[in-house]
Amino acid sequence: MPQPVDSLPKIGVVGTGRMGANMARRLKDVGYPIAALYDRNPEAASATASETGGEVASTLARVTECADVIITVVSDDAAMYSVFATSGDSLLQGAAGKTFVNCATVTPQVHVDVQALAEERDAQTLEACMASSIPQARNGTLYLMAGGRPEVFERLRPLLESLSSTLTYVGPAGRAAQLKALVNMVMNINTAGLAEGLGLADALGLDLALVRGVFSQTGANSRVLETDGADMANRDHEVYFSADHAAKDSGIALRLARDVDLSLPLARATYEQYEAMKRLGLGQLDKSGVSELTFKTRHGQTLRTRDSS
């Protein structure tokens, strides 16, 4: 049964990029009051606020002051530690009684550390790792993996269900982030493998539409073929999940593997492909842009020339 609007918690959003902004729009659509928005780029927060309402906060502390539940969607480990800093402007200022829902893909230990910092201040946290993209954030059909205290998860379940089509509680703090790292590691490997298959097919002179059709009916099929196959063939790399983020997330998985003394050669090779994209200035392309490295007529020719020199 839906909660009465006047009983819904006030929401703050930190990080109003493509995902954060669309989550704010979705929550506004289903009745949650958006109390405050913050972004390092104030214009991004202002653009979102023009649709959702809410104060464009000039400080992190102001977001905490205005909201009951603060959703963070930041870029990496350093950004997470920055917004939860123990000195200076921070979400932890005046945090007693507040709840933080942290959605970024970061090193699992970061979520453990942030939970400890929040609980020292009588606040609570939950990691809500997203295995979806921009349209799903807008439509409330995210695949969410949650980690943290089970009682916090249950209390936030109605809010999380408003954002998701599938909601899974994984375990204590850090466990959902571990699983999310594995999801993205495998996705990135699949993406790089598809790029190699299509690149070789192109070099052999095969019709790429026919190749994709055969792939889709055989063991070469994958979710990535459906989402990225045509984009690779057409060089349409509008960003939904950037190569920069793919490199970051594969790196997280490799560090987890190192911690348990496990070698992952495919994950390593994939990470190196996305790092190569960054070196070529292609990091802001969608992950499908890894095909730019595997087609002879694209940057793949440049890379082969470098390797042979």
Judgement on whether residues 163 and 28 belong to the same structural domain of the protein: yes
pLDDT at 300: 67
Compute φ and ψ for 35, nearest 5 degrees: -90, -35
pLDDT at 4: 54
Judgement on whether residues 19 and 64 belong to the same structural domain of the protein: yes
pLDDT along the chain (309 residues), means of 10: 69 97 98 98 98 98 98 97 98 98 97 98 98 93 98 98 98 98 98 98 98 98 97 96 96 98 98 97 97 92 55
Judgement on whether residues 106 and 161 belong to the same structural domain of the protein: yes
Residues sharing a CB contact under 8 Å with residue 70, sequence separation 6 or more, in sequence order: 11, 12, 13, 14, 63, 64, 91, 98, 99, 100, 101
Please say which residue of 137, 172, 207 terminates a domain: 172
CB 9 within 8 A of CB 159: yes
Tally of domains within the chain: 2
Judgement on whether residues 39 and 114 belong to the same structural domain of the protein: yes
What number of other Cβ atoms are within 10 A of residue 141's Cβ? 14
Q: Domain containing 304 — which CATH number? A: 1.10.1040.10
Q: Determine the distance from the C-alpha atom of residue 78 to the mean position of all C-alpha atoms in its chain, rounded to a whole number.
A: 15
Tell me the one-letter amino acid at 184.
N
Long-range contacts of 42-50 (CB under 8 A, 24+ apart): 44/16, 44/17, 45/16, 47/16, 47/21, 48/13, 48/16, 48/20, 48/21, 48/24
Q: Domain containing 50 — which CATH number? A: 3.40.50.720
Judgement on whether residues 149 and 207 belong to the same structural domain of the protein: no
CB 193 within 8 A of CB 293: no
| Domain hosting residue 120, numbered range | 5-172
pLDDT at 306: 55
